[in-house]
Structure 1
Amino acid sequence: MITVTVIGSGAIGKFYGALFTLAELHVCHLERSDFSILQQQKYYELELPDGTVIEITPKQIEKDYKQLPKSDIILIALKTTANDVLKEILPYVLKPESKILVLQNGIGNEEYLASFIKENCSILCGVTTTGATRIRPGYIKIKYLGELKLAPFLTGQSCGEEIKQLLKSSVNHAMYPKIQLAENHRFLRWTKLLWNTPFSSLAVLFNTSVDALATQSHYQKIVRALMYEVCLVAKLDNAEIANNIEKLLAATATLHGFYPSMYVDFQEGRRLESQYIVANVIDYARAHGLDTPVLSFIYETLLKLEKNGRVFTCSEQNEIFRLITPLIERSNS
C-alpha cells in the first residue's frame, strides 16, 4: 500500500490528506493542536461547499515526528514560518524514491527543500486555490474546491500525473478540485503570488476582506501597484503574468467576506508568512537590480504590524495611504 505522510495538518493539509485517505492509501497526519481530538475520536470532519459533512479517518496520527513512517509521498502543507523544522522531520519519512508534494504559499519553497535533501526524491510544486478554513479542532470547512496546479521542480521529474490520478481516485467525486499539470513551477508560483502578495498583505494591514480590496478604489489603487511590481519581478524570471491582472480582480470581487490565511494567522496570533510571500519577491528583484518601492514599503509595514501585535487604527491606516501614494507614482513612472 502507498504510504502518504502529511506534514502541516491545517485546513489545506487535511483536505488534500482526505483525498488520499478516500483513495484508500495509508495516510499519516503529523498533528499538533488537533492531536488530542483525533486521538480520541479517530476522525476529523470536512464540511464541503454544499454543506455535506463527511468524516475522514486516517490510518495513522502522530504527534512525534520520530514516529512517522517512511513514506512514498510526503505532502508538505506546513506554514512557511516553520520551514526550518523540515530539516529535522524529513529524514524520518524520506525513502530513496519518495515524492514530495509542496502545497505552500510564496516562492523559493522547492529551492529551499532541494538545498538540503540529498536523496533521489522528486519534488513537486503544488499551487492551490482551494478555500479551506479550520473552524475548530477536528473540523474543516471547504468554502470552494478551487483548483490545484502541479509542476515538477526539475525537468524530467514526472510524478505529477501519478499524484493527480491518486488524488482523483477517491470514491467521492464531489470533492475533486480541478487538477492541472504544468511544466514550469516558477511560473505557477509567480501566478499565485500575483494574487497572494497584494491581497494577503493588504487584508492584514487594512483589516478588510479581499472583495473590498478589489472593488473599493482607494484600496484597488494599491492592489494594482503591487500587482504591477510582482509582474515586473516575475518577468525577470521569464514569467509573463500581466494579462492575469484584470481576471484576478474580477474574480476576487466575487469573494464576498473572504479573508486569506495570512489574515487568519494574524488574528490568531501566529507569525505571518511575509518572508515567502513578500520578502522573497523583493530579494529576487534586488538580486536582479530592480527597485520595488511599493512592495518594500508594504513589507516594512507588515513587520511593524506584526511587532505591534494589533490591527492598525484608522489614523494609522490613513498614514499608510499618505506614505504609499508617492511610491505608487514612482513605481508607475
Structure 2
Amino acid sequence: MSNSPSILIVGAGAIGALYGSALSRSGARVGVVCRSDFEQVQRDGYRIASKLLGDHVFRPHAVLRDVAACATPPDYLILTVKVLPGVDRAALIRPAVGPGTVIVLIENGIDIEPEITAAFPDNELLSALAFVMVSRTASGEIHHQSLGSLAMGRYPAGATPAGERLVSLLKAGQIECRLTDNVVAARWQKAVWNAVFNPISILGGVLDTEAMLRTEADQAFIRKAMNEVCAVAAADGHPMNPKLVDRMIADTRALPGYKTSMALDYENGRPMEIEAILGNVVRAGQRLNVPIPALESVYAVAKMVEGKRA
C-alpha cells in the first residue's frame, strides 16, 4: 500500500462525505460514488459546515456515478449505504473490489457483516461504528452538528496493520478514532442505545430524545428495553458493563434534544433501517431464548408504522 492510499467511498452521503473529507486532508486519494448529488459534487464538491472541523469544501479525487466506473480497485473501499432488505450490498461493491482491497463498513446494525464476508471471503473486512450527528441539508451540503468519533476493528475480531493505517489517517484528518479487537461487542454496545431510541422515535410521529425521556415512566420503559438488549448481547457472548444503561440515559439527557437517524428518515420519507437496527436484535433474542417483551412490542409497532407509510 502506498504512502497515499486510494480510498473509494460508496454511498457518499453525510457520513461518507464527512469521513471522506478527513481522509482527504490526511493525504489519501479519496474517490466517491454518489448518484443523487453527482452533478453538484462533481462541479463544486461537498460544502461541509462543522463547528468541530471548521467550515470547508471537500473536493474528492474522483466523483463517480456508479461503482462500475471505478477503473482500478482501491486500497480501501468504504461502504456507508443504509442496510436495508432487498439491497444487495455485495453486488453493489463487487465491480470495485480487487484481491487486495480492504472493505470497511461504516453502517448501523447488528449482524450486518456476514453478507460481505460470504461474498468476499479473501478480503479483509473492517467493521466500524460512527458516533456522530451529521446530516445532508441540500444537494452537496453537509451539516456536522457534533461528535464524530469512530470505533473500528477487524471482523470478526482482532487488529491488523490495515486497520491501524486507516485509524492513523482518520486521526491525521482530525477524527477521533480507535481500534477495538472485539468489534462485535462494540456493535452490541452501540445497539443498546440504537435499537431502542431509534425505533421508539418514530412511534409517536417524530420524537426527539428529550421527548422520549420526559417522564419517569418514559425512562423506565426505555431502561427496560435497553436492559433487554444487554441480555441478548450477554447470551451472544458479549456481556455489557452493568452501569452502561444508566450512563447512556444520563448522557442522552445531558444533551439538548435531538432527532435520531431513523426519525430523520421517517420525517423525510426515506427507507428506515428497522431490520438492521432492531429486527436483527429481536431475532437474536428469539434464537437465544432470551425474553424480550419490550423489544418485541417496539419492533411490532415500528413495522406497523413502516407498513402504513409504504
TM range (shorter): over 0.9
Q: How does 1:171-250 map to 2 (within 5 A)?
A: 176-206=174-204, 207-241=206-240, 242-250=242-250
TM-score when scaled to structure 1? 0.86
Tell me how far apart the structure 2 counterparts of residues 232 and 29 of structure 1 sit (CA, whole Å): 39
Residue-pair matches, total: 303
Q: CA deviation at 1:6?
A: 0.6
Which deviates further from its counterpart, 236-245 or 72-81? 236-245
Question: CA offsets per residue over residues 205-229 of structure 1, 9 Å max, x none?
Answer: 1221113323432321221111011
Asked if 1:76 corresponds to 2:79, the answer is yes
Deviation at 1:11, TM superposition (A): 1.0
Superposed, 1:23-34 pairs within 5 Å as 23-34=26-37
Structure-1 residue corresponding to 2:136: 134
Percent identity over the alignment is: 24
Superposed, which structure 2 residues align to 1:316-327 within 5 Å?
none
User: Would you say the 8 A contact 1:212–1:253 is kept in 2?
Assistant: no
Q: What is the Cα deviation at residue 157 of structure 1?
A: 5.3
Partners in 2 of 1:213 and 1:275 — Cα distance? Answer: 21
Preserved contact between residue 32 and residue 60 of structure 2 (Cα < 8 Å): yes
SS of residue in 2 equivalent to 1:192:
helix
**How much has 1:50 moved relative to structure 2?**
5.2
Aligned to 2:40: 37
Distance across 2 between alignment mates of 1:283 and 1:10: 29
Asked whether the 8 Å contact 1:44–1:57 carries over to 2, the reply is yes
CA contact (8 A) 2:49 2:142 kept: yes
Compare 301-310 and 6-15 and name the one that shifted more: 301-310
Question: Given the superposition, is the C-alpha separation of residues 253 and 177 from structure 1 closer, same or farther in structure 2, using an over 3 Å criterion?
Answer: farther
Aligned counterparts of 2:223 and 2:255: Cα–Cα separation in 1: 18
Question: 1:45 Cα deviation (Å)?
Answer: 1.0
Residue 183 (structure 1) shift = 0.9
Q: 1:24: Cα distance to partner?
A: 2.3
Out of 119, 124, 128, the position equivalent to 1:116 is: 119
Structure 1, gaps ≥5 residues long: 171-175, 311-333
The answer to whether the Cα contact below 8 Å between 1:122 and 1:157 also exists between their aligned partners in 2 is no
Output the CA distance in 2 between the equivalents of 1:65 and 1:178: 28
Measured on the aligned residues, the alpha-carbon RMSD in Å equals 1.8
Q: Which stretch shows the higher mean deviation, 45-54 or 260-269?
A: 45-54
Long gaps (5+) in structure 2: none
* Correspondence for 2:252: 252
Q: Larger % of helix: which?
A: 1
Length-normalised TM-score, structure 2: 0.92
Q: Does structure 1 conserve the Cα–Cα contact (< 8 Å) formed by 2:133 and 2:145? A: yes
Deviation at 1:8? Answer: 1.5
Give the superposition deviation at 1:12.
0.9
Conserved in 2, the CA contact under 8 Å of 1:20 and 1:27? yes
Deviation at 1:150, TM superposition (A): 1.2
Check conservation: 2:170, 2:176, Cα contact below 8 A: no
Moved more, 282-291 or 184-193: 282-291
Measured in 1, the distance between the counterparts of 2:193 and 2:87 equals: 26
| Whole-Å separation in 2 of the counterparts to 1:188 and 1:61 | 32
Partner Cα separation in structure 2 for residue 76 and residue 127 of structure 1: 12
SS at match of 1:276: helix
Distance 1:197 1:289, change over 3 A: same
SS in 1 for 2:19: helix
Distance in 1, Cα, partners of 2:29 & 2:85:
25
Measured in 2, the distance between the counterparts of 1:82 and 1:4 equals 26
The amino acid across from 1:142 in the alignment is H
SS at structure 1 position matched to 2:177 = strand
Stretch deviating more after TM superposition (31-40 or 227-236): 31-40
Read off the aligned partner of 1:268 and give its amino acid letter. Answer: N
Q: Distance between the aligned counterparts of 1:232 and 1:108, measured in 2?
A: 16
Distance change in 2, residues 1:127/1:231 (3 Å): same
For residue 177 of structure 1, report the CA deviation from its aligned partner.
3.2
How far is the alpha carbon of 1:64 from its aligned partner?
2.2
Indicate how the Cα distance of structure 1 residues 82 and 53 shifts in structure 2: closer, same or farther if over 3 A, else same.
farther
Are residues 1:269 and 2:272 paired?
no
